[in-house]
């Protein structure tokens, strides 16, 4: 007996909750189906700086391990792409000094991670939103944390960029009007993204 992680994965979001002794359920926009899923949520919300990723086999409901990330990271985003792969972008390396520009793709068929193009701006605690055209919009975040006269100085960014899964490249796009971190982002029905 004890605590288990329960999660729901939709087409473009990972939602992680903690519940006591509940069965694992995996659902997506296409309904329930037996596919292999993994939880990157612990890493996404910054509880753990690690390359290890736990996985759950939908058919058995038991936890297994899957391939390790290439880079230790925390405070990053994880976005489920239309092709079934997962894009993990940015974050910190577990120290207070380094934000990351690197990104990786998880292939659920092979259980392996591969390096893809790097973002133009290092960022942690940003948002990543899957757009209707299959690209991923990354916005905001922390770009620097440094000691400053006995306190800590945190620098936020208003910049945004787009990841193109077809090319593996990032391109800058218009910046937000206000620099922010830890914000929410919601794709609206008309395809626009609301950042709050």
CB 90 within 8 A of CB 103: yes
- In sequence order, what are the residues at sequence separation of 6 or more whose Cβ sits closer than 8 angstroms to the Cβ of residue 128? 77, 78, 79, 87, 89, 136, 137, 138, 185
pLDDT in tens, 6-46: 343 433 334 443 333 333 333 333 343 333 344 444 433 34
Give the number of C-alpha atoms closer than 13 A to the C-alpha of residue 87, restricted to the C-beta side: 34
Q: Which fold has domain 3-195?
A: Neuraminidase (2.120.10)
Q: What is the pLDDT of residue 53?
A: 58
CB 75 within 8 A of CB 92: yes
Domain ranges of the chain: 3-195
Residues of the chain with pLDDT under 70: 1-63
Predicted TM-score (pTM) of this structure: 0.73
Q: What is the pLDDT of residue 7?
A: 40
Q: What is the pLDDT of residue 149?
A: 82
Closest CA to 110 of 33, 13, 38: 38
Closest CA to 37 of 120, 111, 142, 125: 111
């Amino acid at each position: 007996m004890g605590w288990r992680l329960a999660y729901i994965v939709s087409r473009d979001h990972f939602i992680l909750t903690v519940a006591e002794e509940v069965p694992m359920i995996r659902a997506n926009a296409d309904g329930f189906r037996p596919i292999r899923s993994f939880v990157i949520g612990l890493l996404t919300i910054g509880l753990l700086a690690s390359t290890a990723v736990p996985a759950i086999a939908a058919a058995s409901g038991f936890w297994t391990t899957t391939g390790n990330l290439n880079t230790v990271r925390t405070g990053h985003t994880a976005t489920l792409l239309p092709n079934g792969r997962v894009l993990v972008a940015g974050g910190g390396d577990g120290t207070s000094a380094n934000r990351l520009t690197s990104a990786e793709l998880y292939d659920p068929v092979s259980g392996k991670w591969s390096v893809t193009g790097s973002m133009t701006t290092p960022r942690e605690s940003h948002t990543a939103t899957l757009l209707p055209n299959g690209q991923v919009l990354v916005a905001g975040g922390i770009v620097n944390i440094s000691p400053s006269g006995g306190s800590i100085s945190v620098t936020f960014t208003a910049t945004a960029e787009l990841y193109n899964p077809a090319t593996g490249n990032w391109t800058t796009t218009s910046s937000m009007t206000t620099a922010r971190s830890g914000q929410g982002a919601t794709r609206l029905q008309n395809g626009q993204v609301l950042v709050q």
